[in-house]
Amino acid sequence: MSMGRPNKSEPRCKQLNLSLTTTELESIKRRAQALGMRPVHFGRAVLLDQYRTVTVEREPQNNLELLIYSQLMRLGNNLNQLMRHLHRTGEPVPADLEPLLRDIRHILERRVQR
């Protein structure tokens, strides 16, 4: 029995080192945290242009807002994985998914209105 993550078809074995100012690094850390991401994952997504659909119009104002936002980002990621699985396998969308999506849209609309 093997422990750890399974082998990837294309492992990440190359590095790109960047020099940043303290201000630039702090900005990247704040933006990543606002999205519930680690700075390295945020940087990779931005560099590989996988960040188009996720924008932060303003920084979270308090810890509760940051927690809600990061949980919504994680939920979005899980929904994206679910949809990829459904498309790949041809399985139908679960009937109870629409009420969940409606609730998520409502939460997001309330956040934008603030």
| pLDDT of amino acid 1 | 39
Domain layout of the chain by residue ranges: 20-59, 60-114
Residues 32 and 41 sit within 8 Å (Cβ to Cβ):
yes
Long-range contacts for 52-56 (Cβ within 8 Å, ≥24 apart)? Answer: 56/31
**Residue position matching structure tokens 């560099």:** 47
Q: How far apart are CA 44 and CA 37, in angstroms?
A: 11
Give, in degrees to the nearest 5, the angle at Cα 109 between 104 and 114. Answer: 130
| pLDDT of amino acid 5 | 53
| pLDDT of amino acid 30 | 84
pTM: 0.42
Burial string for 10-23 (b: 16+ CB within 10 Å, else e) reads: eeeeeeeeeeeeee
AA letter at 50: Q
Mean pLDDT by groups of 10 residues along the chain of 114 residues? 57 88 89 80 80 53 78 82 88 86 78 58
| pLDDT of amino acid 96 | 87
Give, in degrees to the nearest 5, the angle at Cα 80 between 56 and 10. Answer: 100
